[in-house]
Structure 1
Amino acid sequence: MTQRIRHTPYTQPTGGWGSVKSLVKHATRQQAVTAAPGLFRTHNKPGGYICTSCAWAKPGQPHAAEFCENGAKATFWDLTARRTTPEFFARHSLTELRSWSDYDLENEGRLTEPMRYDADRDQYIPVSWEEAFADIGAKLRARPPEEAVFYASGRASLEASYLWQLFARRLGTNNLPDSSNMCHETTSVALPQSLGTPVGTVLLEDFQQTDCILSFGQNVGTNAPRLLHTLQEVRERDVPVLVFNPLRERGWEAFVNPQRPAQMLSNRPTAIATGYWQPRAGGDIAVIAGLAKAVLDLDDAALREGGAGLLDRGFIEAHTSGFDAFERFIRTTSWEDITRESGLSRADLEAAAAVYARAKAVIAIYGMGLTQHRLGVDMVRMLVNLLLMRGHIGRPGAGICPIRGHSNVQGQRTVGISEKTALVPLDAMAERYEFEPPREDGLTTVDVCEALAQGKISAFVSLGGNFLRAVPDHTQVEQNWPRLDLSVQIATKLNRSHLIPAATTYLLPTLVRSEIDRQGGVPQIVTVEDSMTCVHASRGVHEPATESLLSEVRIVAELARATLDPNPKCPWEAWSLDYGLIRDEIAAIYPRDFFNFNTRMLQPGGFARHIAARSRIWETDSGKAMFSCPKQLNASFDQGDDPQVLRLITLRSNDQFNTTIYGMTDRLRGIEGSRRVVMIRQSDRERLGLVKGARVRLITVSEDGPDRRVEGLQLIDYDLPEGTIAGYYPECNPLIPLSHYAEQSKTPAAKSVPVRIEEDPS
């Protein structure tokens, strides 16, 4: 693919004909045109399969086409006609394949046979399923369980996830990191502290009743495009949508709905954001403090005029704790500090606060632009504070709404994939399965990377994902990977994590969710949870890529059978033949959420799990919703005292889902030809003495560890706040030190990495 970079600002709306053309291109490129009609019939529809892309809610009465551009790309990518066969591996050594791009590796197509790495040949060679399971089981049994890591990406079903965590705990470890550790772990820490729930409080129906939406650090056009349908309906009720995001993203500005023929013909877009402000990276605590300060000023003015005030004092008194300390913090924080750290003016913040203060039901949505900072937990809790001030939790049309990325990443936590033992009903598992699960907390993703460097883990078993590309500091982590005795990768396509071998390495190919999963000749149903805690049934409708593929559930069950001593309370084979039996187990361990699981899963739109905060029941230590005060206004590792240091935001392109790269076109940002770019404000570029289009390197500013740099990047002028730059994930991951993570949650701080820019003469 061409490496010549072109940048032309994109002026067309999100969706529209640009989206249609993209779908045609990707369906053709993957030779998956025959899969396109099924998108309309079965994609995110009752009786069909649930998309493996984003986790946005699936309505009970779906649209004619309940898919977005990114979801369709993911489906074409899964259902490609391309195949990565044993013959491919016979032609290519791993040394050679390591020189390939991420795109080229996955673009070879679906894996077809189980493979084992042969060090003498430096190649993968075919192996039978039986031999692979037996050898993996023997090697897992032969080492201390605390040295084994069971990683999970966000794609696996509830059924596979439940067996995965049970397998790990029966072996004797709580080392169950997952992709949540790298994105929304901050949410899982902050929301329980504030509200007593690790998930959002909003249901899809709340968007029909809201009269104001706030959005922080979320790019709707790339990360949750189906949300645009909901936002379009909201805007048609003249509901204000206030957006705070460092980059101006096209999805928030203009949307043409491909399902509306009249709008497609006219190409007259719906304007989504009614107010758009661009805070500096790491400045959102200051932004929210400014909004809160302006609300207090409006409340003071209303009280002086004899009114009732703008705060919901009845709610604050009856349902919250800590307001007095929070109020003191806001009142004693100066506007000078707020404007300096936020990068926004007092007038802008007061204008946004006036809109918020008039609303009676407010939804606040946010993404990783809040969670991936040093003080990410404080950021999320500050947003909750703002809602609590006016009682916008537990009210129809109001609440907090984190936008999750991967399709079932939230659901995996629901059924036990967590390194935190306090989140898992271990006593119930111990009683039901008659074993003593380990009681000490396991390793997070960052912990795993650190333990690997220290030689404290020897086995890594991965249920999907591309761990070595997703983690921070991945150049350093890759160098330590060969110290492992065992690496097992359950996957659908070849990726970078498969090319760094351990002493023993297996590659186990699996079905994708849109394929029919037959066990004993009977098609099985799996389930997933969306970001609004609704659980949906999913039925594959396409024939498997090859007959040799096994489902994730079957692979996990067979690994458990090969590794663990027999236990009649854990009938792994029976579970692998009838997934309804697994759902019975989930219901037994989690009865409040999953009673009558096998019946309720068929409900159109899914069934919502019980979230006490929706009813203003606060499962916190105090029994109340908790206000909190942030540590400081600046959430970044950069203290802002050196003008030569910039704050780097890592982000995804329009042609990408997590570490999967579909192509080299970031259409919505107008960038084409390469991903090796740095977006920079023109005035910053000129201040630093750099010319437009220059080749540069980024160097991390950190006292921790080795010299971290990424070279061969090209500068692109872009609309960004002063002192903020942006580059693509995962290419910029080597710049993020393992030690740079969110306090309390250990989520990598990928949204304000302190860096310097130098010209790169090479």
Structure 2
Amino acid sequence: MSKRTGDVRIGKADMPAGGWGSLAKVTTILLDQGVPLKDSRLLLKQNKPDGYACVSCAWAKPANPHPFEFCESGAKATAWETTSKTIGADFFERHTVTELEAWDDHTLEAQGRLTVPLRWDSAADKYREVSWDTAFAEIGAALRAFDREQVVFYASGRASLETSYMYQLLARMYGNNNLPDSSNMCHESTSVGLQKTIGVPVGTVDLHDFEETDCIFFFGQNVGTNSPRMLHQLREARMRGVPIITFNPLRERGLVSFTNPQSPLEMLTGHETPISTQYLQVKPGGDTAAIMGLSKAIFARDDAALAACGQRVLDLAFIQEHTQGIADFEAAVRACDWSAIERESGLARADLESAAAVYCASNAVMGIYGMGLTQHREGVRNVTMIVNLLLLRGNIGKPGAGVCPVRGHSNVQGQRTVGITEKPELAPLDKLKALYGFEPPRKTGMNTVEACEAILAGKLQAFIGLGGNFVRAVPERGLMEAAWRALPLTVQIATKLNRNHVIHGKASYVLPCLGRIEIDRQRGGPQDVTVEDSTGCMHGSRGRAEPVASTLLSEPAIVAGIAKATLDPNPRVDWDAWVADYGRIREAIAATWPDIFHDFNARMWTPGGFRRPLGAAHRVWKTESGKALFTAPGSLDNNPDMRGGPTTLRLFTVRSDGQFNTTIYNYDDHFRGVQGSRMVLFMARADMAKYALAEGELVALRTPAEDGVERRVGGLAVVPYDVPEGCIAGYYPELNALIPLWHHAKESKVPAAKAIEVLLERGGRPS
């Protein structure tokens, strides 16, 4: 029985991940989106070698897939894209943009697929249909008139490798490296931290390592919601007796237990596989302190082994041959006091010593993590601390061991691989110059935070968006939405209506594109695309559904249309030929990065994908010293620019079961027992008692930063939850309005959404 409070129904959060609950959610969204039976069978082709890559998360696709190689989140994404609901020009004749602005995120996207190109009519305050040729011509004319350094080309992370390559070439031929993307908002801390310590910007683990590991350490990632297919690898590891030690502020159901929907026996009996063997509820921002505690216990065990003339705990041979910096790191660990570790991590010394004992008894340890580590002021330091932990016993570059950052969007890692980056030193500019006969810009471009700063300063003239919902995803919403309206031009390439279309520039275009699941017919015949998964493997993807409308263009065709209307003709770039045959784009990608993409067209359908070269996976360290690097943390404080006082709470944002990033499928979160609303605040019962708050009582949150900006969100219903005292959680993106733009990771500029100091106000009126 659930308890209803206003629009919020609060029930028990005790069901396992997977099982009948997930099956019911899949069935519900298929029916809700009007997906016919023949199209629901598309799910049988999801993440298969001859099918389409899921448009949801970027988790790895196995060479020998399960019969149903999709999860609840992936099925929702497929239903959302293949919906029978459509909106055309007539919809916009019935609704002004001001009216649509009052609709919530779910309602906007739930209207269905966009079907015609649109241009905002300022006199009528309505989007009106415009021809493709007119849209391209007008966008191109505007871009040619702008200052080339004041235009941003943003990418959301779902576009294919082919589209992404064309997009980065468009930006650089236009004249800038302003290529921010969703990595800037999530895993840029990974790219910076791993690159400087082990010489690769991505993880070293692949699916085979899950079969050989004998211990997994899991940090700050909700597998049940954000990458549920990984639960199969975790379950199989647990069935082999592999310990999984989890560090996460909330007790997430996917990290507690799992019922395998692929197993008829488990579905019939309700059998659950326990996932975590030890669950440590670290304070948000306390991960560096926790890893310092683990390391301190490891050094103590090594000291004891040395004193007893026993086998050393540290892998000295590996450390001496493959690493540098161990002395400074060891000195920092030994100087760190246990009282400081316990205070900053929120964990007991005994629990950390117990976890360290398991680590020391294991021969092949994997370190898995998500945005719970990266979206912090010291997010890069958190990543390097994971590396420190693994290096102590040689747990990088051997089977069953390594570092495994779990990425979000389905090709966010891949688009960086093919040049979507604001950092010119990471792009093959000399190769592009040789291939295409132009002088690429060498000036560092804008990342996401810098693009927002330019918008707020009135120094940006145009924003081109390749997917995504930028204005909803970024911090500082109160200031950003107002400044966004002053942009001279906004262009959004999209499949569905979202907040970024109703909050728009002075001139605004919405260009509807084919989805990845749809058959992409071009002059050269049906076309396939490629993506890169979280483990660095490239996969082919073949659309299987009929397009929802004949008026749609593919993403490559839209990018080519903008490029032809904007750029001077270049005899070495035949945009039309690339659109007619995506194989030619792949040949261009292979010519640009031959070490990664040689024989691209021949290898793209390799079962399980073909993997990019990753030196660190083979103990080849492409760092300045040629070795892996231990780094000593300067302090344990992970939130130095937002110091909480006695009356503040530490907020961290989370995603629900009913969403993927900014896409809201429904208002339910069955893993946390919440239905009917996303305006909730998860709070420890001890804190509820401290503030004399009843379950379901409405409160508001306010950021106490002294910078003259009011940041407030009200109308939040209090939900009791197992969360560390002094810490609270709420949903992204609703609570982004509380994040100052300046509150970001020091080296990577990732918004620090996982540790925000806030003040609580009783009786919180809605914002």
What TM-score, normalized to structure 2? 0.98
Amino acid at match of 2:509: Y
Give the distance between the partners of 1:760 and 1:148, measured in 2 at CA: 43
Moved more, 745-754 or 468-477: 468-477
1:153-552 correspondence runs (5 A): 153-520=156-523, 522-552=525-555
Structure 1 residue 640 displacement after superposition = 5.6
Aligned residue runs from structure 1 range 25-36, under 5 A: 25-34=28-37
How far is the alpha carbon of 1:3 from its aligned partner? 5.9
Partners of 2:240 and 2:470 in 1: CA distance: 43
Structure 2, unmatched stretches of 5+, are none
Instruction: Select the residue among 610, 614, 625 that pairs with 1:611.
Output: 614
Kindly, what percent of the aligned residue pairs are identical? 56
Counterpart for residue 562 of structure 2: 559
Deviation at 1:501, TM superposition (A): 2.4
| Aligned match of 1:686 | 689
Distance between the aligned counterparts of 1:262 and 1:457, measured in 2? 58
The residue that corresponds to 2:721 in the other structure is 718
Aligned 1:78-227 pairs, distance under 5 A: 78-227=81-230
- How far has the Cα of 1:688 moved from its partner? 2.5
Partner of 2:592: 589
Q: Which structure 1 residue ranges, 4+ long, deviate > 6 Å from structure 2?
A: none
- Paired amino acid for 2:602: T
Aligned to 1:97, the other structure's residue is in SS state helix
User: Deviations along 1:167-190, whole A, 9 cap, x unmatched?
Assistant: 000000100000000000100100
Q: Is the 8 A contact 1:3 1:673 kept in 2?
A: no
For 1:641 and 1:248, locate their aligned partners in 2 and report how far apart those are by CA, in whole Å: 24
2:69 to 55, 66, 70: 66
Quote the offset at 1:647 in angstroms: 0.9
Q: CA deviation at 1:510?
A: 0.3
Cα distance change on mapping 1:48 and 1:388 into 2, 3 Å: same
Please tell me whether residue 745 in structure 1 is matched to residue 752 in structure 2. Answer: no
Mapped contact 1:39–1:67 kept (Cα < 8 A)? no
C-alpha distance 93-435 of structure 1, shift in aligned 2 (>3 A)? same
Cα distance change on mapping 1:37 and 1:124 into 2, 3 Å: closer
Alignment partners' CA distance in 2, 1:65 and 1:542: 18
**Are 1:735 and 2:738 counterparts?**
yes
- Whole-Å separation in 1 of the counterparts to 2:446 and 2:707: 21
Letter matched to residue 222 of structure 1: T
Q: Show CA shifts across 1:688-736 (max 9, x none).
A: 2333322110001212340100011111111000111000000000000
> Aligned partners of 1:605, 1:347: CA distance in 2, in Å?
41
Give the whole-Å Cα distance in 2 for the aligned partners of 1:309 and 1:621: 29
CA change 1:685–1:35 in 2 (3 A) is: farther
Matched position secondary structure for 2:722: coil
Answer yes or no: is the 8 Å Cα contact 1:3–1:674 preserved in 2: no
Structure 1 residues 531-587: Cα deviation after superposition (integer angstroms, max 9, x where no partner): 000000000011000000000011001110111000011111111111000000000
Which letter maps to 2:282? P
C-alpha distance in 1 between matches for 2:241 and 2:39: 35
Distance 1:641 1:671 in 2: 29
Contact persistence 1:35–1:79 (CA under 8 A):
no
* Deviation string, structure 1 residues 598-641 (Cα, Å, up to 9, x no partner): 00111111100000101111101111100001121121246665
Gaps (5+ residues) in structure 1?
none
Query: For the residues of structure 2 that align with 1:32 and 1:391, how far apart are their CA atoms?
Result: 50
Superposed displacement of residue 686, structure 1: 1.5
**Which AA in structure 2 matches 1:696?**
V
Q: Distance in 2 between matches of 1:170 and 1:437?
A: 7
Distance 1:639 1:673 in 2: 32
Question: Does the aligned pair in 2 maintain the 1:240–1:273 contact within 8 Å?
Answer: yes
Aligned-partner Cα distance in 2 for 1:640–1:313:
39
Contact 2:643 2:757 in 1 (8 A): no
1:42 counterpart (15, 28, 45) = 45
Is the Cα contact below 8 Å between 2:286 and 2:344 reproduced in 1? yes
Tell me the CA shift for residue 429 of structure 1. Answer: 0.4
Question: What do the CA deviations read for 1:424-447 (whole angstroms, capped 9, x no partner)?
Answer: 010110111000010011001110
Give 1:323's aligned amino acid.
Answer: I
Contact 1:394 1:614 in 2 (8 A): yes
Is the alpha carbon distance of 1:3 and 1:82 closer, same or farther for their aligned partners in structure 2, counting shifts above 3 Å?
farther
Q: Separation in 2 of the partners of 1:640 and 1:279?
A: 18
User: 1:361, 1:541 → 2: CA distance?
Assistant: 40
Partner Cα separation in structure 2 for residue 382 and residue 481 of structure 1: 38
Q: TM-score, normalised by structure 1?
A: 0.99
Contact 2:461 2:489 in 1 (8 A): yes
Change in 2 beyond 3 A, CA 1:14/1:75 = same
Structure-2 change in CA distance of 1:56 and 1:82 (3 Å): same
Separation in 2, partners of 1:545, 1:685: 49
Q: Which amino acid aligns with 2:458?
A: G
Paired with 1:36 and 1:3, the residues of 2 have a C-alpha distance of: 37
CA distance in 1, matches of 2:251, 2:652: 13
Whether the 8 Å CA contact 2:714–2:764 is kept in 1: the answer is no
Q: Contact 1:638/1:754 (CA < 8 Å) preserved in 2?
A: no
Deviation at 1:261, TM superposition (A): 0.4
The superposition leaves residues 48-76 of structure 1 with CA deviations (integer Å, 9 ceiling, x where unpaired) of: 10000010000001100000000000000
Query: Conserved in 2, the CA contact under 8 Å of 1:191 and 1:197?
Result: yes
Give the distance between the partners of 2:43 and 2:667, measured in 1 at CA: 27
Amino acid at match of 2:278: G
Letter in 2 for 1:656: Q
**RMSD of aligned residue pairs (Cα, Å):** 1.2
Paired residue type of 1:658: N
Distance 1:33 1:703 in 2: 54
Does structure 2 retain, via aligned residues, the 8 Å contact 1:27–1:36? no
